[in-house]
Chains A and B, each alone.
Chain A
Amino acid sequence: MSVPAVCYLGLSAVLFALGTLGVLVRRSALVVFMSVELMLNAVNLTLVTFARVRGAVDGQIVVFFVLVVAAAEVVIGLAIIVNIFRARDTVDVDDVDLLRG
């Protein structure tokens, strides 16, 4: 591991911040969803980096479970987005305010 761990952690931090920015400023539910995926991947990079720093494989196992949960989450989330689009003809998160959020 010739590249210091801080470089990977810095990349992960910037990617996570980009994800939060997408969630904050974008309206399309689909893009917000992709930003959430971006944050998940930033965290995965952190986990793999620390697994390498410690020389243990447990961090990679956690990444495996994150992948599983992300797959299930994407399937359910996209199904919900499709349902919302069929019901209201829009996927803008500002228009879907039944709960007055």
Chain B
Amino acid sequence: MGEAYCVEGVLFAVTAVLALAGGVGVIAAREPVHSVLGLLLVLISLAADYLLLGAQFIAALQVIIYAGAIVVLFVFIVMLLNMRSGEGRPDRVLPPVLGIVLSAAFAALLIAAAATVRGPAASVGADYGTVQQVGRALFTVYALPFEAASIVLIVGMIGAVALSKRPAPLGAPPARRGVVGR
């Protein structure tokens, strides 16, 4: 028991440090591709945390959908656009220091709220969080939301095709369009 406690504690500490490092990397990196790599680090660390919490199915989904599909999509867009970012300009709306102070206050508030959670965790069986258990709940109690989720995905696919097949970009200012035409 004591040994298991130690292993879990060390694993959580490692994943927490990696996730925080990745999170800082996302918002602090100059190059967008470094931000994507930071996001990937966060997602993988969180998948390990889900395993520690007994959510095997969700951990697998996290790796396949988030770390696989969504990050690949981000990398694709970064590669495709090669965008310049005018990050060097002075801020008009919110100075970064104020943003940091606001976010730190918000984090303190959330942690204070989380610290009020009391009581031991429920004891669960060996099949907790497996594909069988989650799938059974998904196809019985949550069958209707599950079907609605498929509609959401269809709408997303149709929307992406419609947006990317647009011949002339919508919202281009008329003057700029004239310049491009010449």
Binding site for B on A (CB under 8 A): 1-3, 5-22, 24-28, 30-31, 34-35, 37-38, 41, 44-45, 48-49, 51-58, 60-61, 63-65, 67-76, 78-88, 90-92, 94-95, 98
Provide the residues of chain A in CB contact with B156, threshold 8 Å. Answer: 71-73, 75-76
B178 adjacent to chain A (CB < 8 Å)? no
List, sorted by A's number, 15 A–B pairs whose CB atoms are closer than 8 Å: A3-B9, A3-B52, A16-B107, A19-B23, A24-B102, A30-B78, A31-B26, A34-B74, A57-B128, A68-B153, A75-B73, A75-B159, A75-B160, A76-B156, A98-B171
Is the CB–CB distance between A35 and B81 below 8 Å? no
**Residues in B108-132 with C-beta less than 8 Å from chain A:** 110-111, 113-115, 117, 119, 121-124, 128-129
**Residues in B155-181 with C-beta less than 8 Å from chain A:** 155-157, 159-160, 163-164, 166, 169-173, 176
Dominant SS among interface residues on chain B: helix
Provide the residues of chain B in CB contact with A27, threshold 8 Å. Answer: 85-87, 89
Binding site for A on B (CB under 8 A): 4-5, 8-9, 12, 16, 19-20, 23-24, 26-27, 29, 32, 35-36, 39, 42-43, 46, 49-50, 52-55, 57-58, 61-62, 65-66, 69-70, 73-74, 77-78, 80-81, 83-87, 89, 91-94, 96, 99-100, 102-104, 106-107, 110-111, 113-115, 117, 119, 121-124, 128-129, 133-134, 137-138, 142, 145, 149, 152-153, 155-157, 159-160, 163-164, 166, 169-173, 176
Is the CB–CB distance between A3 and B8 below 8 Å? yes
**With A9-B114, A63-B58: A15-B160 Cβ-Cβ less than 8 Å:** no
Is the CB–CB distance between B66 and A67 below 8 Å? yes
Q: How many A-B residue pairs have CB under 8 A?
A: 256
**With A17-B103, A53-B117, A75-B159: A90-B86 Cβ-Cβ less than 8 Å:** yes
**With A3-B12, A15-B19, A80-B163: A48-B83 Cβ-Cβ less than 8 Å:** no
Interface contacts beyond A15-B23, A52-B53: sample of 8 additional A-B pairs, CB < 8 Å, sorted by A: A11-B19, A35-B27, A41-B46, A44-B46, A64-B61, A73-B156, A75-B160, A83-B166
> Closest Cβ of chain A: how far from B49's Cβ, in Å?
6
- A35–B130 CA distance with the chains assembled, in angstroms: 30
- A92–B84 CA distance with the chains assembled, in angstroms: 9
Is the CB–CB distance between B55 and A60 below 8 Å? yes
